[in-house]
A and B are shown apart, each in its own frame.
Chain A
Amino acid sequence: MLKVIKYDDKREYYSNLLEKIANSDKNAFASLFSEISPKIKGFLMRLGSTDILAEEILQETMLAVWKKAGYFDKTKASPTTWLFTIARNKRIDFLRKESRPEIDSYDPVLASDNLDTPDISLEHKETSEILLKQIESLPEKQNNLIKKYFFEDKTQSEISEELNIPLGTVKSSLRLGIAKLKKSLEKEDL
């Protein structure tokens, strides 16, 4: 319960800062930088970046935050998720020397339900919270495996060695965890 409160508080605070940054407020930018950059650096280093590379990607990420803050829409994503997607993409740009294909939310070909009202935003927020609760309620092993495999970019063999679990168990637990997440989203009609 404590975690959810912390999450909502930060969400509101970061959203306000991003709105100010969209209006070129450099003080708000410096505040966001001191709040979030140690976490972004921690995230990048956990994914295997060296200290120097992490600092370099972090700087590119924060410059992109400054330029793109006007795109942030708190009714569509939480601020930490938006910041995560920017850090993720900057890391990919650095490592692959080529941007990854992205969905363009302004593409006229994009499928739409034409119901982009506040109710839909509420629905999105609820779906995300249900998924977050679902992943936290997975058995410790499955939760840890999903985070390591997908979000720490480790191979199944690396995880097997690191956690001292047989490779077959890594594979079957991952499969089971993915199936549970899928089921929880499909319960929400997704």
Chain B
Amino acid sequence: MITHHVVEEMLISYSSGKLDNTNSLLIATHSALCLKCRKKIEAYEEIGGQILLDQQNIEVSPQSLENVLSKLDDDKENLPNKEITLNDCFKKIPSPLRKYLPKANNILYENWKNFFGFKYYKIAISSSGKDIKALMLSMTPNQKIPEHKHSGIEQILVLEGGFSDEKGSYGPGDVSTQNENDRAHIPIADDTGCICLLVYEGNLIFTGLKGWLLNLLKI
């Protein structure tokens, strides 16, 4: 059961369309796994619907209707087939995230890189000029992410397995949120290891003994 949700401001920003695409990736992926947050998004979108209804009318050029009418055809989008079959390795990865992963040969780890025993994959997604990164991270059982703090918001969404840090334990669907005011933390994977989506602003600032080296490498 999901017990750690995303922060409310992120949900409202996602619903209104204000949120950048990188953070939207995490919110959409978490909400695909979390009915509670999905229902909240639907409720917040109703505010947008009400704002649209209350909007002052601004005259539209008659040409616009003509343009649109001339493009209407019977080429409607069909409702998708609900019987989509997924290869086993993608069965725990919701659609918003699946679209950004290499799917060649149906291997989850296709094109992932190794870094001090971790496997990671940098997701190519734009953040409207903001310095926000998204990466998939795979930790082996009981592996630790070296002690680090943050220069902005960091969100970690667990997809498989789990991890713990000073604030709590996180299982599939849970999100850990840290910001620049939080103390440095050391996430440790559970006995089963952990596959997660990490989205963070700025850089991770490694503070432990080998911190200087890790900071030089700038993942």
Seen from chain A, the residues whose Cβ lies within 8 Å of a Cβ on chain B are 7, 10, 22, 24, 26, 29-30, 33-34, 36-43, 45-46, 54-55, 58-59, 62-63, 66-71, 76-85, 87-89, 91-92, 95-98, 100-104, 106-113, 124, 127-128, 131-132, 135, 146-147, 149-151, 153, 178-179, 181-182, 185, 190
Q: How far is the CA of A146 from the CA of B18 in the complex (A)?
A: 12
| Interchain CA distance A68-B76 in the complex, whole Å | 7
Check if A83 sits within 8 Å of B68, measured CB to CB: no
Report the minimum CB–CB distance from B3 to chain A (whole Å). 14
Residues B56 and A42 in contact, CB atoms below 8 Å apart = yes
A49 to chain B, nearest CB (A): 11
Q: What are 23 A-B contacts with C-beta separation under 8 Å?
A: A37-B65, A39-B52, A39-B56, A41-B60, A58-B60, A66-B72, A67-B76, A78-B46, A101-B24, A101-B29, A102-B96, A106-B81, A107-B94, A108-B84, A109-B32, A111-B35, A124-B42, A131-B46, A131-B47, A135-B47, A149-B18, A151-B16, A185-B40
Q: Which residues of the partner chain B approach A83 to less than 8 Å between Cβ atoms?
A: 49, 52
Also in contact, A101 and B71, with CB within 8 A (given A71-B77, A109-B93, A190-B39): no
A98 contacts B126, C-beta separation under 8 Å:
yes
Distance of A85 Cα from B47 Cα, bound (Å): 11
Q: Are B95 and A107 in contact (CB under 8 A)?
A: yes
Name the CB-closest residue of A to B22.
A101
Closest 7 pairs (CB-CB, A-B): A81-B49, A38-B57, A80-B49, A101-B96, A107-B95, A128-B46, A88-B17
Contact partner, A101, options B21, B40, B78, Cβ 8 Å: B21
| Cα distance, A50 to B183, chains bound together (Å) | 45
B154 to chain A, nearest CB (A): 18
Tell me, rounded to whole Å, the shortest Cβ–Cβ distance linking A144 to chain B. 12
- Rounded to whole angstroms, the CA-CA distance of A135 and B94 in the bound complex is 32
In the docked arrangement, what's the CA distance between A179 and B46, Å? 18
Check if B53 sits within 8 Å of A80, measured CB to CB. Answer: yes
Partner of A185, one of B38, B43, B48, B95: B43
B66 to chain A, nearest CB (A): 10
How far in angstroms is the closest Cβ of chain A from B175?
14
Which residue of chain B lies nearest to A85 when distances are taken between CB atoms in the complex? B45
* Nearest CB in chain A to that of B94: its residue: A109
The verdict on B34 contacting chain A, using a C-beta distance below 8 Å, is yes
Q: Is the CB of B55 within 8 A of A42?
A: yes
The interface bits of chain B over 91-107 (1 if a CB of A lies within 8 angstroms of the residue's CB, else 0) are 11111110110000000
Beyond known contacts A55-B61, A147-B51, A185-B43: 5 more, CB 8 A cutoff: A7-B50, A42-B58, A98-B21, A101-B24, A124-B43
**CB-CB under 8 A for A43 and B51, given A37-B60, A77-B45:** yes
Dominant SS among interface residues on chain B: helix
Report chain A residues within 8 Å CB of B24.
100-101
Task: Pick from A33, A40, A150, A185 the residue with the most CB of B within 10 Å.
Answer: A150
- Whole-angstrom distance between the alpha carbons of A179 and B128 in the complex? 27
Q: Which residues of B contact A (CB under 8 A)?
A: 8-9, 12-13, 15-18, 21, 24-25, 28-29, 31-36, 38-53, 55-61, 64-65, 67-69, 71-72, 74-82, 84-86, 91-97, 99-100, 125-126, 128, 173
Q: Assuming the A-B contacts A84-B45, A103-B38, are A24 and B74 also in contact, with contact meaning beta carbons closer than 8 angstroms in the complex?
A: yes
Does the CB pair A68–B77 fall under 8 Å?
Answer: yes
B32 & A110 in contact (Cβ 8 Å cutoff): yes
Question: Are the C-beta atoms of A41 and B32 separated by less than 8 Å?
Answer: no
User: Do residues A150 and B94 form an inter-chain contact, with CB atoms below 8 A?
Assistant: no
A33 touches B76 (CB 8 A): no
B13–A150 touching, CB < 8 Å: yes
Tell me the bound Cα distance from A89 to B15 in angstroms: 10
